[in-house]
Amino acid sequence: MKPSTLMMGYGYDPALSEGSLKAPIFLTSTFAFENAAAGKRHFEGITGLREGGAEGLVYSRFNGPNQEILEDRLAVWDGAEDALTFSSGMTAICILMMAYCGQNDVIVHSGPLYAATEGFVAKVLSRFGITYLDFPAGATRAELDAVLAKARAQAEAQGGKVAMIYLESPGNPTNALVDIEAVSDARDAAFPPAQVAAGGSTQECPIAIDNTFLGPLWQRPLEHGADIVAYSLTKYVGGHSDLVAGSIAGAKRWMDPVRALRNTMGGIVDPNTAWMLLRSLETVELRMQRAGENAAKVCAFLQGHPKVEGLGYLGLISDPRQQDIHDRHCLGAGSTFSLFIKGGEAECFAFLDNLTIAKLAVSLGGTETLASHPASMTHLSVPQARKDMLGITDNLVRISVGIEDADDLIADFAQALEHV
């Protein structure tokens, strides 16, 4: 069955909950064991004394029914064996990185990344001796080979390993795409076959990718060589700008170390938010399709407007390399894009201050259209030289198109541009 069908019932049996058609919200901090031996067996699984993890519900820092149903359904969308949910996208990303990186290791990542992710690598992990190397999103196979060779040398010099290749594609806020297939090929070539584990991937160096901008509908990175897919569920999956949550998905062998750290640290999504996400998943395809159609209409209007310098929209790519990546990896153009207004910060602020339907707010992927100015908001903490290199310019407005009427949105953008 297709994911859109499975979202209505997969992973939940009403018979186990008094026939309740929808899963109740399980507000409990702990679960009663059938007997003492069952309790012991669960803890053997949780502590790693026995393979396979807990066989039932134990304690709400580890898991709960709402979270388990949600994790099962999220895995369906990405064709993953397993998924884990978290209290925010950043909790997911930070626990993922901490699970895989040890002292003196190197992380290789694409750029741009969401500023908090970039900051976590550069400012927090660095305190534990973990260094990083980054490459521009559109890097070619030759460039990727070069950065991985450099990373290996750096790791050897530090006495560590290349612990993870971390991608964000499309990158926030420019929509720059990463060639996941090329990264996967380069990774497999950089690490000798001896290090390749039974699952087919190199054990030491998983490829993780933040798929928040296009997933789960328009990009399926696990099919292109990524091992772990990460989400801010706050965005398209939650989809109503009313919750904060995150997830990762992939083969169970990649999830297990992260689950173990989550069990220790906490950070699992709460039952109420998990329940809301289950409701959101029932409509995620409908919402994303409509938002995608709206964005295509809005961008057709904005393209060539006299106040517009250009668009960073995946439906109107001008760079052949980026177009090739899009053709191979993406199933749609999304509904979040960059609008480059002729001028700079003042012109962007005039545009933003005069929008009436679109709300001036950071975040994206909700039912309502949002607009923001990354250079002075989400990416304010990024050093100017790096902003310049990544194309996060003062005349960039990031727009996330929602599911309103497209003509109303076009009229709103038209009148706001008149104020520029």
Ligand X SMILES: Cc1ncc(COP(=O)(O)O)c(C=O)c1O
**Contact positions vs ligand X (CB under 6 A):** 88-90, 114, 168, 172, 210, 212, 232, 234, 244, 246, 363
Of the CA atoms within 13 Å of residue 89, those in its CB half-sphere come to 24
In the complex, the smallest distance separating the C-beta of residue 347 from ligand X, rounded to whole angstroms, is: 24
Give 259's contacts (C-beta < 8 A, 6+ positions apart): 53, 84
Q: DSSP character for 195?
A: G
Distance CA 391, CA 184 (A): 25
CA distances from 329 to 206, 211, 226, 364 (A): 19, 12, 12, 21
In the complex, the smallest distance separating the C-beta of residue 192 from ligand X, rounded to whole angstroms, is: 32
Closest CB to ligand X: residue number: 89
Whether residue 339 contacts residue 308, with contact meaning beta carbons closer than 8 Å, is answered with: yes
Q: In sequence order, what DSSP letters do the residues of 269-308 get, joined into one string?
A: PPHHHHHHHHHHHHHHHHHHHHHHHHHHHHHHHHTT-TTE
What is the CA 129 to chain-centroid distance, rounded?
25
39 vs 136 by CB, closer to ligand X: 136
In the complex, the smallest distance separating the C-beta of residue 400 from ligand X, rounded to whole angstroms, is: 10
The helix or strand, by DSSP H or E, that contains position 203, with its residue range, turns out to be none
110 vs 294 by CB, closer to ligand X: 110
100 vs 231 by CB, closer to ligand X: 231
In the complex, the smallest distance separating the C-beta of residue 90 from ligand X, rounded to whole angstroms, is: 4
Residue 180 burial by Cβ neighbours in a 10 Å radius (0-12, 13-18, 19+): buried
Give 39's contacts (C-beta < 8 A, 6+ positions apart): 33, 58
In the complex, the smallest distance separating the C-beta of residue 416 from ligand X, rounded to whole angstroms, is: 23
94 vs 406 by CB, closer to ligand X: 94
In the complex, the smallest distance separating the C-beta of residue 297 from ligand X, rounded to whole angstroms, is: 24
161 vs 373 by CB, closer to ligand X: 373
In the complex, the smallest distance separating the C-beta of residue 362 from ligand X, rounded to whole angstroms, is: 7
Edge to edge, the sheet with strand 207-210 lists: 82-86, 246-250, 228-232, 207-210, 162-168, 106-111, 131-136
Distance CA 176, CA 36 (A): 54
